[in-house]
Amino acid sequence: FPARVRTNPTIPRIYVNTVGSESDRCWSAEQVRAICRIFEADPRFDVWIYSHHAVPESRTVHRAATRSFEDAAQLAASSQAIISPDTSMVHLGSAFRIPVLAFYAGNEKDYFGYPIHRVFAPLSQGSQMIALTSGTASAGVIPLSAMEPDVLSGIVREFLLSTFSQNMQSRSEPV
Tell me: the pLDDT tens digits for 62-119?
999 888 899 999 999 999 999 999 888 998 998 899 999 999 887 555 444 555 555 5
Which pTM does this prediction carry? 0.83
The predicted model gives 56-67 an average pLDDT of 91
Tell me: the pLDDT tens digits for 143-169?
899 999 999 999 999 999 999 986 544
Q: Yes or no: say if 81 and 101 are a contact pair by the CB < 8 Å rule.
A: yes
Mean pLDDT of the chain: 81
What is the rounded CA–CA span in Å between residue 161 and residue 155? Answer: 10
Greater model confidence, 175 or 112: 112
